[in-house]
Amino acid sequence: MKRTPGQLVATALIIFFLGVLMLILSASGNSFFVDVAFIFFCGALLLAIYAWRVKKVFNKDSLLKSIVSD
């Protein structure tokens, strides 16, 4: 299945916010959530780099326009 640039950016944002949620859950003292958050942050970063370098997302007129057009 082909992904549009806006879908890639939206997916990266969702993964990033899941990482933030894991960091919030790690406040309970469970270090497992910190490890999972790190994996989510790395995944979101890799997806954003892929969207930037391969799909040329950030070279368009507006990133918001790309997301909304999907």
Domain that holds residue 24: 5-69
Domain total in the chain: 1
Nearest-angstrom CA–CA distance, 2 and 8:
10
Q: What is the pTM of this model?
A: 0.65
Residue pLDDT, tens place only, 2-53 = 777 778 778 888 888 888 888 888 887 778 888 888 888 888 888 878 877 7
Contact (CB, 8 A) for 49 and 8: no
Contact assessment for residue 9 and residue 66, using Cβ atoms and an 8 Å cutoff: yes
43 touches 4 (CB < 8 A): no
